[in-house]
Structure 1
Amino acid sequence: MNDRPPLPPFTAETAAQKARAAEDAWNSCDPERVSLAYTEDSRWRNRDTFVNGREEIVAFLRQKWARELEYRLVKEVWTHAGNRIAVRFVYESHDADGQWFRSHGNENWEFDEHGLMRRRHASINDIAIDEADRLFHWDRSGPRPPDHPGLTELGL
């Protein structure tokens, strides 16, 4: 098994690195890439959906990003201890009809000794917004630029 650093136990610095790596992967909207950060038998709760293992993660993410278009995500560490990290996040996307949404959420993560996430629990709320109210405008072909403000700086 290959390690996926940083490894637990997490410090403030390594928890932030882990959160940014997750943010960058999710912003790629590449389900296969994202799935590699999770254990083969990873268990998720995402809203009211339960997902088990990498195959189901890939299928779930394919469906998600087929519905949530122009997806852009920002994550921020809330707290960390040992092999667990809690993050808060906000993402913006629009549906097929062009309605934009800002989705606010919290995730609780648990990692194995190799730095792979074995559990992910996500609670998410969506708010319809006007396109003019969007805050995330970076180019979809890459990650959030280093100088783009985070959630705290944006007052979210």
Structure 2
Amino acid sequence: MALTDKPILFHFLQSIYSHRILWYELEERYPSRGLTPTTSADIGLQKLFESYPVDGGVFANAVRLMPYWTETGLLKNKAFLNDRQNLSGGRRMTEDLMEAGRPDGVQHIRQVFELFESTFLGDGRDWILGTKEPTVADIDAVWPFKWMIL
């Protein structure tokens, strides 16, 4: 596939640019889509979800629950393992480490689901900000869970 055949968000897989910059650029170009929140309260929630998945430990615990045992599992990708080992200061992901971390991962992810279901979505809404369509806040809030099922 030629570079120009790919969707614009995937042109630069090794890009240093944040996906948030892309969201704001898309919002500027297509304002009717409503990707970004407009009220101060909703902007505050969206800012919370920018950092919570990583700083709150959601991502680290989601990684513990990723299906590493499959043919396409993350432990089969040596380039990925090397990259993560360099990023984490020399600790390499192994099957034993992944399996040992799963009970803690399950406990923490259950707590996150409980938080979402009893607060942000507790009134029956489909989307965190109560919108008709997902916003950047929804994407920022749930991307670690998508990683769990890759």
Compute the TM-score of the two structures, normalised by the length of structure 1: 0.28
Compute the TM-score of the two structures, normalised by the length of structure 2: 0.29
Q: Which has the higher contact order (CA 8 A, sep 6+)?
A: 2
Greater fraction of residues in helix:
2
Q: Which has the larger radius of gyration?
A: 2
